[in-house]
Amino acid sequence: MTSGEDAKKMVDAGALLLDVRTPAEFAERHIPGAVNIPMQEIEVRYEELGPPDTRIVLHCRSGRRSDIVVQFLKTKGYEDLHDFKALDAWPW
């Protein structure tokens, strides 16, 4: 697991910030600049993330969905994955 502070540093350095919550959750509150691809859509939309060497920082509400997405992305060749689990871990 990546800390929220480390996640922010990676995003500030150019990593893709991926929010895997539902569109309704995303609309309610999200980190500016985050890309929203809900966990339920990741299998058909993962190519939107870029090539497998893309550095991706991801989260959901509690960490369950982001963990599932990490495991899925690994099967597609993504390795530079950093899950800070919960939105509330982000250093606002």
pLDDT of 1 > 90? The answer is: no
Mapped onto helix, strand or coil, the DSSP state of residue 59 is strand
- Domains, the chain, ranges and CATH? 4-89 (3.40.250.10)
DSSP code for 46: G
Active site residue 60: yes
Confidence of residue 63 (pLDDT cuts 50, 70, 90): very high
pTM: 0.97
Sequence-separated contacts (24+) of 42-48 with Cβ below 8 Å: 42/69, 42/72, 42/73, 43/72, 46/72, 46/73, 46/76
* pLDDT tens by residue, 3-42: 999 999 999 999 999 999 999 999 999 999 999 999 999 9
Closest to 20 (Cα-Cα) out of 85, 77, 75: 85
Of the candidates 17, 20, 34, 60, the residue annotated as catalytic is 60
53 token code pair: 């060497």
